[in-house]
Amino acid sequence: MKDNAAEEHLYLAFSHQYRDSIFPLHTSISLFLLSYCDCKLFKVFLVPTGEDVGDQCVTKNVAGDLEVHLISRCQLPVVVQSCSLPAVVVKDDKFCRAGLSVVLRHIIQKTFEADPSKKEVLELLGFKKTCLKACAEVSQWTRLCEISIPLAVERFLTASPEHCQAIPPDILLLERKLGEPVRVHNDDKIRRQKLQQQKAGAKAAVPVLGEEATEELKPGEIHEHPPSSLELSVAFSKLLAQEAPEANREAPNIRRTKTSDLPLLDHVFAEGLYFTVADLVLLPCIHQFLVSSKKQGKDLVNLPLISSWYRRVQEVPGVKKAAGKCNMELLQLPELVFAPEEQLQYSASVPDELEEDHEDSHFIGGPRPTMTKLMENGIEAKFSPHPCPSWTLDWTSLPSAVSPGEGKMSRDRALRKQQQLNNLVAAVTKLAKPGDLIVDFCSGGGHVGIVLAYMMPSCQVVLIENKELSLIRAKDRSDELGLNNIWFIQANLDYFNGTFNIGVALHACGVATDMVIEHCLRARAAFVISPCCYGFIQNTIKFKYPR
């Protein structure tokens, strides 16, 4: 760490310790990633959720050589008190990151920045560094890793014996996902190599590496224990920082094969061919599920793909070492052989609402037919006069960093944004009182929040945005203005659980507008919102329509 001024604090919830895991599982996952990355950049705090927790209960056998401190929730920095844990904040700073995916991605990025030789750590973020970047509403893997699987396992572990006989539906969904064809950015090339391999008589199955494989595979050892499929060869070549296996130029009949006729690729790891942070999130969860199932005498024959994945992940360099630090005694599962019809039988047990394919059919129509349907059912838009028709900001008198033009947009777009801000700021100014806390949800580059913080120095303004770069740009503008009444939270909006007086959102996309309104209603806060400019909503795991 370069200096204490840049020290970052990581806050993790602690409810109880069970076997070799700390609960909630989000905490075990975070500690496991720290161990895998061998990251000592963060000062780690456990925040008990109950009253009767002693230091010795928490800090013993947490994560090997990782130093952990105990802190009560009332001692947290004020900005962190408003967020669900895990959360990271630079000491004495006003920029907070909250939510499992955001925090894990930040740990990975900081580890690589501190030691650029750890390229395998950066590779955890996947192709284009987007693994777990999208929020749970739009990404199946973020939803599974951040919400569904941890919750399903926690419920399974705490359920009474009569209620935990069946495999949780979300575990079955993961099993089904592992059986789906893999799509990667260069899959046409790899699929042609696979076809050539098949025609040469090579096996197409994807078994784990043999049991004789060592804990830490070295580049030379992959030749001693060659993978039995093209997918494994590609995956482990990437893990060992080798070039992918070169194939001879495809035969003419291979080159002429239509893409639709090429063999599909099988999963090696959770998201596809490559080992990512998604695997490190799932491992502590699936490990606890498997340990509990084994103790209950459950047969894992219904989960052959999860079992194969669990064995395969253990062969990744660094995984067993990290598990040892976290006191995780990984199981040695036998290889399962199953008939396809058996897998289909248990996959059919996944409820429809958990399937990504259940989403609404493509939207048909447009504004006019939609408005007609609403009017036919007695629903009609009613317009009221603008509460502040003559109110406007004198943009020429304001510092340039206040103007949306500073937020990397064209002159014409910046002018339209100023007109939008005139309307929102006018309404908020009429509602706000000194001491109020105003939250700019889905703030983007901070166009609304920065103007509000500058114009109302007696109010505290919080910007909440899931995109890191947008929020960093907003903070840079705020620092240029010297604003002291503004906080920045990189998180999905439902990870903000603090109290506030006024909620603001300008063009929060799609369902996010309704999520903001619900958040404000729950907090009994006033809100000033300009809805999504796309005019399109759809059902998600958290929101269903009509409402």
Residues 151 and 106 in one domain: no
Residues 213 and 341 in one domain: yes
> β-strands 95-98, 87-90: how paired?
antiparallel
Residue at 328 is within a domain: yes
Question: Which of 90, 121, 137 is the endpoint of a domain?
Answer: 137
What pLDDT score does 3 carry? 46
Structure tokens that stand for 29 in this block? 């996952």
Question: Which of 301, 334, 358 is the endpoint of a domain?
Answer: 358
Give the whole-angstrom CA distance, residue 55 versus residue 340.
Answer: 50
Residue at 109 is within a domain: yes
Residues 388 and 264 in one domain: no
Contact 266, 85 (CB under 8 A): no
Residues 157 and 125 in one domain: no
Q: Give the domain extent around 430.
A: 368-530
Residues 519 and 376 in one domain: yes
CATH code of the domain containing 58: 3.40.30
Residue at 546 is within a domain: no
Give the whole-angstrom CA distance, residue 290 versus residue 60.
Answer: 24
Domain count, the chain: 3
Residues 175 and 55 in one domain: no
Residues 93 and 152 in one domain: no
Residue at 298 is within a domain: yes
What pLDDT score does 208 carry? 40
Residue at 541 is within a domain: no
Residue at 331 is within a domain: yes
What pLDDT score does 215 carry? 43
CATH code of the domain containing 522: 3.40.50.150
Q: Per residue of the chain (547 residues), what is the pLDDT tens digit?
A: 444 446 899 999 998 887 777 889 999 999 999 999 999 999 999 999 876 555 555 555 566 678 899 999 999 999 999 999 999 998 778 999 999 999 999 999 999 999 999 999 999 998 889 999 988 888 888 999 999 999 999 999 888 776 666 889 999 999 999 988 877 666 656 666 665 666 666 444 444 443 333 344 443 343 334 445 655 666 655 665 545 455 556 666 666 666 565 666 667 888 888 899 999 999 999 999 999 888 877 777 789 999 999 999 999 999 999 999 998 999 988 776 554 444 445 444 555 555 544 444 455 555 677 778 888 888 887 888 877 777 788 888 899 889 887 656 777 888 888 888 888 999 999 999 999 999 999 999 999 999 999 999 999 999 999 999 999 999 999 999 999 999 999 999 989 999 999 999 998 887 888 889 999 999 999 999 988 766 566 777 777 776 6
Residues 131 and 192 in one domain: no
Residue at 453 is within a domain: yes
Residues 276 and 309 in one domain: yes
> β-strands 460-465, 526-530: how paired?
unpaired
Beta bridge pairs of residue 47 = 13
Structure tokens that stand for 502 in this block? 């006024």
Question: Which of 358, 380, 415 is the endpoint of a domain?
Answer: 358
Residues 181 and 129 in one domain: no
Residue at 535 is within a domain: no
What pLDDT score does 474 carry? 94
Angle at which helix 447-455 crosses helix 411-431, to 10 degrees, equals 50
Write the secondary structure of 10-71 as one string of H (helix), E (strand) and C (coil): EEEEECEEECCEEECHHHHHHHHHHHHHCCCCEEEEEEECCCCCCHHHHHCCCCCCCCEEEC
What pLDDT score does 393 carry? 86
- Could you give the 3-state DSSP secondary structure of residue 433? coil
DSSP E strands in 456-506: the ranges are: 460-465, 486-490, 502-506
Residues 104 and 68 in one domain: yes
pTM: 0.84
Residues 100 and 163 in one domain: no
